Amino acid sequence: MFRGLTVVSMVFVNNPGDWGHLYWPFDHAKWHGWTPTDLIFPWFLFIVGVAGVFSLEKRMASGADRAGLARHAFRRGMTIVLVGWLMAFYPFVPFLERLGRLRIPGVLPRIGVTFVLGTWIVLAVWRKRVPGVAVAVVALLALHTWILLGTGFDLTPSGNVQRAVDLAVLQGHLWKNAQGWDPEGIVSTLTAIATMLTGTLTGFLLRGPATVKEKIARLLVWGAVATGCGLLWGRFLPINKNLWTASYVVFTSGAALLAIGLCVFVVDVLNWKRPFAFFSTFGTNPLLVFVLSGLLAKTMGLVKLTDVAGKAITLHTWIYRGGFSWIADPTLRSHAFALGTILFWWAVLRVFEKKGWFWKL
Protein backbone atom coordinates (compact mmCIF):
# COMPACT_ATOMS: atom_id res chain seq x y z
CA MET A 1 0.00 0.00 0.00
CA PHE A 2 2.80 2.43 0.89
CA ARG A 3 4.72 1.62 -2.28
CA GLY A 4 1.55 1.98 -4.36
CA LEU A 5 0.79 5.36 -2.80
CA THR A 6 4.31 6.47 -3.71
CA VAL A 7 4.07 5.20 -7.30
CA VAL A 8 0.63 6.77 -7.84
CA SER A 9 2.05 10.09 -6.67
CA MET A 10 5.07 9.71 -8.95
CA VAL A 11 2.99 8.96 -12.04
CA PHE A 12 0.56 11.77 -11.19
CA VAL A 13 3.19 14.51 -10.90
CA ASN A 14 5.05 13.24 -13.99
CA ASN A 15 1.99 13.47 -16.27
CA PRO A 16 0.22 16.84 -16.09
CA GLY A 17 -1.64 18.06 -19.14
CA ASP A 18 0.36 21.30 -19.18
CA TRP A 19 3.65 21.79 -17.35
CA GLY A 20 2.95 25.52 -17.27
CA HIS A 21 -0.09 25.06 -15.03
CA LEU A 22 0.56 23.23 -11.77
CA TYR A 23 -0.74 23.60 -8.23
CA TRP A 24 2.24 24.11 -5.90
CA PRO A 25 1.96 20.72 -4.07
CA PHE A 26 2.44 18.93 -7.40
CA ASP A 27 5.60 20.73 -8.44
CA HIS A 28 9.13 20.48 -7.02
CA ALA A 29 10.62 23.28 -4.97
CA LYS A 30 12.74 25.44 -7.24
CA TRP A 31 15.84 25.07 -5.03
CA HIS A 32 15.86 25.24 -1.20
CA GLY A 33 12.69 24.13 0.56
CA TRP A 34 10.22 21.38 -0.20
CA THR A 35 6.76 20.54 -1.48
CA PRO A 36 4.80 17.27 -1.12
CA THR A 37 6.19 16.27 -4.52
CA ASP A 38 9.70 16.32 -3.05
CA LEU A 39 8.73 13.46 -0.72
CA ILE A 40 8.03 10.99 -3.53
CA PHE A 41 11.47 9.88 -4.71
CA PRO A 42 13.02 9.49 -1.23
CA TRP A 43 9.94 7.52 -0.15
CA PHE A 44 10.54 5.11 -3.01
CA LEU A 45 14.16 4.60 -1.95
CA PHE A 46 12.97 4.25 1.66
CA ILE A 47 10.57 1.43 0.75
CA VAL A 48 13.33 -0.28 -1.24
CA GLY A 49 15.24 -0.48 2.04
CA VAL A 50 12.22 -1.78 3.97
CA ALA A 51 11.42 -4.46 1.40
CA GLY A 52 15.09 -5.43 1.18
CA VAL A 53 15.07 -6.63 4.79
CA PHE A 54 12.14 -8.97 4.12
CA SER A 55 13.84 -10.28 0.97
CA LEU A 56 17.28 -10.80 2.54
CA GLU A 57 15.91 -12.60 5.59
CA LYS A 58 13.78 -14.85 3.39
CA ARG A 59 16.72 -15.73 1.12
CA MET A 60 19.07 -16.35 4.03
CA ALA A 61 16.50 -18.62 5.65
CA SER A 62 16.46 -20.66 2.43
CA GLY A 63 20.25 -21.12 2.54
CA ALA A 64 21.65 -18.20 0.53
CA ASP A 65 25.01 -16.83 1.66
CA ARG A 66 26.04 -13.19 1.76
CA ALA A 67 28.39 -13.47 -1.22
CA GLY A 68 25.61 -14.91 -3.38
CA LEU A 69 23.19 -12.22 -2.21
CA ALA A 70 25.75 -9.54 -3.06
CA ARG A 71 26.09 -10.90 -6.61
CA HIS A 72 22.32 -11.09 -6.97
CA ALA A 73 21.96 -7.48 -5.80
CA PHE A 74 24.56 -6.36 -8.35
CA ARG A 75 22.81 -8.14 -11.23
CA ARG A 76 19.42 -6.79 -10.27
CA GLY A 77 20.63 -3.26 -9.64
CA MET A 78 22.54 -3.03 -12.89
CA THR A 79 19.52 -4.37 -14.78
CA ILE A 80 17.46 -1.52 -13.32
CA VAL A 81 20.18 0.92 -14.44
CA LEU A 82 20.09 -0.56 -17.96
CA VAL A 83 16.30 -0.19 -18.13
CA GLY A 84 16.70 3.45 -17.10
CA TRP A 85 19.25 4.06 -19.85
CA LEU A 86 17.00 2.40 -22.43
CA MET A 87 14.16 4.71 -21.37
CA ALA A 88 16.45 7.73 -21.74
CA PHE A 89 17.70 6.43 -25.12
CA TYR A 90 14.17 5.91 -26.51
CA PRO A 91 13.17 6.40 -29.37
CA PHE A 92 16.74 5.33 -30.27
CA VAL A 93 16.96 7.48 -33.44
CA PRO A 94 18.93 9.29 -34.60
CA PHE A 95 21.10 6.62 -32.99
CA LEU A 96 24.50 8.30 -32.74
CA GLU A 97 23.07 11.69 -31.80
CA ARG A 98 20.96 10.28 -28.96
CA LEU A 99 23.82 8.07 -27.79
CA GLY A 100 26.15 11.06 -27.74
CA ARG A 101 23.90 12.96 -25.30
CA LEU A 102 22.38 10.03 -23.41
CA ARG A 103 21.47 11.03 -19.88
CA ILE A 104 23.57 8.80 -17.63
CA PRO A 105 22.08 9.77 -14.22
CA GLY A 106 18.33 9.44 -13.73
CA VAL A 107 15.61 8.02 -11.53
CA LEU A 108 16.08 4.34 -12.39
CA PRO A 109 19.90 4.53 -12.50
CA ARG A 110 19.81 6.13 -9.05
CA ILE A 111 17.49 3.38 -7.75
CA GLY A 112 19.71 0.67 -9.25
CA VAL A 113 23.02 2.03 -7.96
CA THR A 114 21.55 2.85 -4.55
CA PHE A 115 20.06 -0.64 -4.29
CA VAL A 116 23.42 -2.28 -5.04
CA LEU A 117 25.58 -0.17 -2.73
CA GLY A 118 22.97 -0.05 0.03
CA THR A 119 22.50 -3.82 -0.03
CA TRP A 120 26.27 -4.38 0.08
CA ILE A 121 26.49 -2.18 3.18
CA VAL A 122 23.66 -4.11 4.86
CA LEU A 123 25.29 -7.44 4.04
CA ALA A 124 28.67 -6.22 5.32
CA VAL A 125 27.23 -5.32 8.75
CA TRP A 126 24.64 -8.10 8.90
CA ARG A 127 25.96 -9.60 12.17
CA LYS A 128 25.44 -6.25 13.91
CA ARG A 129 22.72 -5.07 11.62
CA VAL A 130 20.94 -2.26 13.49
CA PRO A 131 23.99 -0.44 14.95
CA GLY A 132 25.98 -1.18 11.78
CA VAL A 133 23.38 0.33 9.46
CA ALA A 134 22.82 3.28 11.81
CA VAL A 135 26.56 4.06 11.80
CA ALA A 136 26.57 3.83 7.98
CA VAL A 137 23.70 6.34 7.77
CA VAL A 138 25.49 8.82 10.05
CA ALA A 139 28.78 8.39 8.18
CA LEU A 140 27.15 8.95 4.78
CA LEU A 141 25.32 12.06 5.98
CA ALA A 142 28.48 13.46 7.57
CA LEU A 143 30.63 12.77 4.50
CA HIS A 144 28.10 14.33 2.13
CA THR A 145 27.73 17.42 4.33
CA TRP A 146 31.51 17.88 4.46
CA ILE A 147 31.75 17.54 0.66
CA LEU A 148 29.02 20.17 0.23
CA LEU A 149 30.33 22.68 2.77
CA GLY A 150 33.96 21.87 3.39
CA THR A 151 35.49 21.78 -0.08
CA GLY A 152 35.26 25.45 -1.05
CA PHE A 153 31.91 25.34 -2.87
CA ASP A 154 28.58 26.91 -1.91
CA LEU A 155 24.95 25.78 -2.07
CA THR A 156 23.86 27.90 -5.04
CA PRO A 157 22.60 26.34 -8.30
CA SER A 158 25.76 27.36 -10.16
CA GLY A 159 28.36 27.09 -7.42
CA ASN A 160 27.68 23.77 -5.70
CA VAL A 161 30.11 20.85 -5.67
CA GLN A 162 27.64 18.39 -7.20
CA ARG A 163 27.42 20.47 -10.38
CA ALA A 164 31.20 20.76 -10.52
CA VAL A 165 31.71 16.99 -10.20
CA ASP A 166 29.01 16.18 -12.74
CA LEU A 167 30.45 18.63 -15.25
CA ALA A 168 33.89 17.12 -14.78
CA VAL A 169 32.71 13.53 -15.22
CA LEU A 170 29.41 13.54 -17.12
CA GLN A 171 29.36 16.73 -19.18
CA GLY A 172 26.94 16.36 -22.09
CA HIS A 173 25.13 13.45 -20.43
CA LEU A 174 23.07 15.33 -17.83
CA TRP A 175 19.38 16.15 -17.51
CA LYS A 176 19.95 19.83 -18.30
CA ASN A 177 23.06 19.84 -20.45
CA ALA A 178 22.81 23.56 -21.20
CA GLN A 179 22.98 24.40 -17.48
CA GLY A 180 25.32 21.52 -16.66
CA TRP A 181 22.95 20.17 -14.06
CA ASP A 182 21.32 16.90 -12.98
CA PRO A 183 19.30 16.39 -9.77
CA GLU A 184 20.41 12.74 -9.68
CA GLY A 185 24.09 13.62 -9.78
CA ILE A 186 27.10 11.68 -8.51
CA VAL A 187 27.69 13.36 -5.13
CA SER A 188 24.10 13.08 -3.90
CA THR A 189 24.21 9.31 -4.44
CA LEU A 190 25.82 9.18 -0.97
CA THR A 191 22.75 10.58 0.75
CA ALA A 192 20.39 8.64 -1.51
CA ILE A 193 22.01 5.47 -0.08
CA ALA A 194 21.45 6.88 3.41
CA THR A 195 17.76 7.31 2.58
CA MET A 196 17.51 3.67 1.55
CA LEU A 197 19.27 2.60 4.75
CA THR A 198 16.75 4.48 6.91
CA GLY A 199 14.21 2.21 5.25
CA THR A 200 16.41 -0.77 6.12
CA LEU A 201 16.34 0.24 9.78
CA THR A 202 12.56 0.46 9.51
CA GLY A 203 12.47 -3.01 8.01
CA PHE A 204 14.40 -4.36 11.00
CA LEU A 205 11.84 -2.71 13.28
CA LEU A 206 8.92 -4.25 11.37
CA ARG A 207 10.55 -7.70 11.46
CA GLY A 208 11.24 -7.44 15.19
CA PRO A 209 9.45 -9.31 18.01
CA ALA A 210 7.29 -6.40 19.25
CA THR A 211 3.51 -6.41 18.83
CA VAL A 212 1.96 -4.60 15.89
CA LYS A 213 0.70 -1.78 18.11
CA GLU A 214 4.14 -1.37 19.68
CA LYS A 215 5.70 -1.21 16.23
CA ILE A 216 3.20 1.44 15.12
CA ALA A 217 3.96 3.51 18.21
CA ARG A 218 7.70 3.32 17.53
CA LEU A 219 7.23 4.23 13.87
CA LEU A 220 5.16 7.28 14.78
CA VAL A 221 7.49 8.43 17.56
CA TRP A 222 10.65 7.99 15.48
CA GLY A 223 8.85 9.60 12.54
CA ALA A 224 7.85 12.66 14.54
CA VAL A 225 11.37 13.01 16.00
CA ALA A 226 13.09 12.65 12.61
CA THR A 227 10.67 15.01 10.86
CA GLY A 228 11.17 17.64 13.56
CA CYS A 229 14.96 17.21 13.53
CA GLY A 230 15.03 17.48 9.75
CA LEU A 231 13.03 20.71 9.81
CA LEU A 232 15.24 22.13 12.57
CA TRP A 233 18.44 21.09 10.77
CA GLY A 234 17.02 22.67 7.64
CA ARG A 235 17.38 26.08 9.27
CA PHE A 236 21.16 25.61 9.14
CA LEU A 237 21.61 23.20 6.21
CA PRO A 238 18.72 23.86 3.84
CA ILE A 239 16.35 21.05 2.89
CA ASN A 240 17.15 20.63 -0.80
CA LYS A 241 16.12 17.75 -3.04
CA ASN A 242 18.43 18.80 -5.88
CA LEU A 243 21.45 18.47 -3.58
CA TRP A 244 19.81 15.72 -1.48
CA THR A 245 21.12 17.38 1.67
CA ALA A 246 21.39 15.51 4.96
CA SER A 247 18.54 17.58 6.42
CA TYR A 248 16.42 16.48 3.44
CA VAL A 249 17.24 12.82 4.22
CA VAL A 250 16.27 13.12 7.88
CA PHE A 251 13.09 15.09 7.13
CA THR A 252 11.81 12.86 4.31
CA SER A 253 12.69 9.66 6.19
CA GLY A 254 10.76 10.95 9.19
CA ALA A 255 7.76 11.68 6.99
CA ALA A 256 8.07 8.18 5.50
CA LEU A 257 8.09 6.65 9.00
CA LEU A 258 4.88 8.52 9.83
CA ALA A 259 3.27 7.44 6.57
CA ILE A 260 4.20 3.77 6.85
CA GLY A 261 3.11 3.79 10.50
CA LEU A 262 -0.33 4.97 9.38
CA CYS A 263 -0.36 2.35 6.62
CA VAL A 264 0.42 -0.44 9.10
CA PHE A 265 -2.35 0.86 11.38
CA VAL A 266 -4.89 0.97 8.54
CA VAL A 267 -4.00 -2.45 7.10
CA ASP A 268 -2.91 -4.53 10.09
CA VAL A 269 -5.02 -3.05 12.89
CA LEU A 270 -8.15 -1.71 11.24
CA ASN A 271 -7.98 -4.30 8.42
CA TRP A 272 -9.11 -1.68 5.90
CA LYS A 273 -7.52 -3.39 2.91
CA ARG A 274 -10.36 -3.10 0.44
CA PRO A 275 -10.81 0.71 0.65
CA PHE A 276 -7.11 1.12 -0.19
CA ALA A 277 -6.85 -1.68 -2.75
CA PHE A 278 -6.40 0.98 -5.45
CA PHE A 279 -2.94 1.78 -4.07
CA SER A 280 -2.06 -1.86 -3.45
CA THR A 281 -2.69 -2.57 -7.13
CA PHE A 282 -0.02 -0.03 -8.07
CA GLY A 283 2.24 -1.44 -5.36
CA THR A 284 2.29 -4.90 -6.98
CA ASN A 285 3.85 -3.69 -10.25
CA PRO A 286 5.67 -0.43 -9.47
CA LEU A 287 8.54 -0.77 -11.93
CA LEU A 288 6.24 -1.84 -14.75
CA VAL A 289 3.94 1.16 -14.44
CA PHE A 290 6.85 3.60 -14.04
CA VAL A 291 8.54 2.33 -17.21
CA LEU A 292 5.39 2.01 -19.33
CA SER A 293 3.95 5.37 -18.25
CA GLY A 294 7.27 7.05 -19.06
CA LEU A 295 7.48 5.44 -22.49
CA LEU A 296 3.86 6.28 -23.28
CA ALA A 297 4.34 9.92 -22.29
CA LYS A 298 7.41 10.13 -24.54
CA THR A 299 5.57 8.47 -27.42
CA MET A 300 2.63 10.87 -27.13
CA GLY A 301 5.09 13.74 -27.41
CA LEU A 302 6.69 12.25 -30.53
CA VAL A 303 3.59 11.33 -32.55
CA LYS A 304 2.49 14.29 -34.67
CA LEU A 305 -1.07 15.03 -35.84
CA THR A 306 -2.74 17.93 -37.65
CA ASP A 307 -5.39 20.01 -35.87
CA VAL A 308 -8.41 21.70 -37.46
CA ALA A 309 -6.32 24.79 -38.18
CA GLY A 310 -3.82 22.71 -40.11
CA LYS A 311 -1.10 23.05 -37.49
CA ALA A 312 1.07 20.12 -36.37
CA ILE A 313 0.40 19.09 -32.78
CA THR A 314 1.52 16.16 -30.64
CA LEU A 315 -0.73 13.26 -29.74
CA HIS A 316 -0.51 14.46 -26.12
CA THR A 317 -1.88 17.88 -27.09
CA TRP A 318 -4.60 16.31 -29.25
CA ILE A 319 -5.84 14.12 -26.37
CA TYR A 320 -5.54 16.96 -23.87
CA ARG A 321 -7.53 19.39 -25.99
CA GLY A 322 -10.10 16.88 -27.09
CA GLY A 323 -10.75 15.25 -23.75
CA PHE A 324 -10.29 18.03 -21.21
CA SER A 325 -11.05 21.36 -22.91
CA TRP A 326 -14.45 21.47 -21.17
CA ILE A 327 -12.67 22.24 -17.87
CA ALA A 328 -12.36 26.03 -17.73
CA ASP A 329 -9.60 26.39 -15.14
CA PRO A 330 -6.27 25.62 -16.87
CA THR A 331 -4.55 24.34 -13.71
CA LEU A 332 -7.46 22.10 -12.77
CA ARG A 333 -7.56 20.91 -16.38
CA SER A 334 -3.87 20.06 -16.28
CA HIS A 335 -4.25 17.91 -13.18
CA ALA A 336 -7.45 16.33 -14.46
CA PHE A 337 -5.35 14.95 -17.31
CA ALA A 338 -2.88 13.54 -14.76
CA LEU A 339 -5.77 11.91 -12.87
CA GLY A 340 -7.02 10.41 -16.13
CA THR A 341 -3.54 8.98 -16.68
CA ILE A 342 -3.63 7.37 -13.22
CA LEU A 343 -7.02 5.79 -13.86
CA PHE A 344 -5.85 4.44 -17.22
CA TRP A 345 -2.82 2.76 -15.67
CA TRP A 346 -4.88 1.43 -12.77
CA ALA A 347 -7.10 -0.36 -15.29
CA VAL A 348 -4.04 -1.86 -16.98
CA LEU A 349 -2.45 -2.94 -13.69
CA ARG A 350 -5.72 -4.38 -12.44
CA VAL A 351 -5.72 -6.77 -15.39
CA PHE A 352 -2.15 -7.76 -14.58
CA GLU A 353 -3.04 -8.23 -10.91
CA LYS A 354 -6.03 -10.46 -11.68
CA LYS A 355 -3.95 -12.62 -14.00
CA GLY A 356 -1.04 -12.81 -11.56
CA TRP A 357 1.39 -11.05 -13.91
CA PHE A 358 4.14 -9.29 -11.97
CA TRP A 359 7.22 -7.85 -13.65
CA LYS A 360 10.36 -8.40 -11.58
CA LEU A 361 14.03 -7.93 -12.38
321-336 burial code (b ≥16 CB/10 A, e <16): eeebeeeeeebebbbb
* H/E run at residue 93: none
4 band by pLDDT with thresholds 50, 70 and 90: very high
Share of the chain above pLDDT 70, in %: 100
Distance, CA of 27 to CA of 15 (rounded, Å): 11
Distance, CA of 187 to CA of 184 (rounded, Å): 9
**Residue 138 falls within a domain, yes or no?**
yes
Would you say 260 and 50 are in contact if contact means Cβ atoms under 8 Å apart?
Answer: yes
Q: Which residues contact 21 (CB under 8 A, 6 or more apart)?
A: 330, 331, 333, 334
Distance, CA of 185 to CA of 41 (rounded, Å): 14
Which tens digit of pLDDT belongs to each residue from 88-137?
A: 999 998 998 889 999 999 999 999 999 999 999 999 999 899 999 999 99
**Residue 361 falls within a domain, yes or no?**
no
**Residue 207 falls within a domain, yes or no?**
yes
Tally of domains within the chain: 1
DSSP single-letter state for residue 176: B
At residue 308, does pLDDT exceed 90? no
State the pTM of this model: 0.94
Torsion over CA: 161, 197, 284, 359 (sign): positive
**Residue 360 falls within a domain, yes or no?**
no
**Residue 221 falls within a domain, yes or no?**
yes
C-alpha gyration radius of the chain:
21
At residue 360, does pLDDT exceed 90? no
**Residue 177 falls within a domain, yes or no?**
yes
**Residue 94 falls within a domain, yes or no?**
yes
At residue 361, does pLDDT exceed 90? no
178 band by pLDDT with thresholds 50, 70 and 90: confident
Torsion over CA: 341, 345, 346, 351 (sign): positive
**Residue 256 falls within a domain, yes or no?**
yes
Q: What domain range is 45 assigned to?
A: 2-355
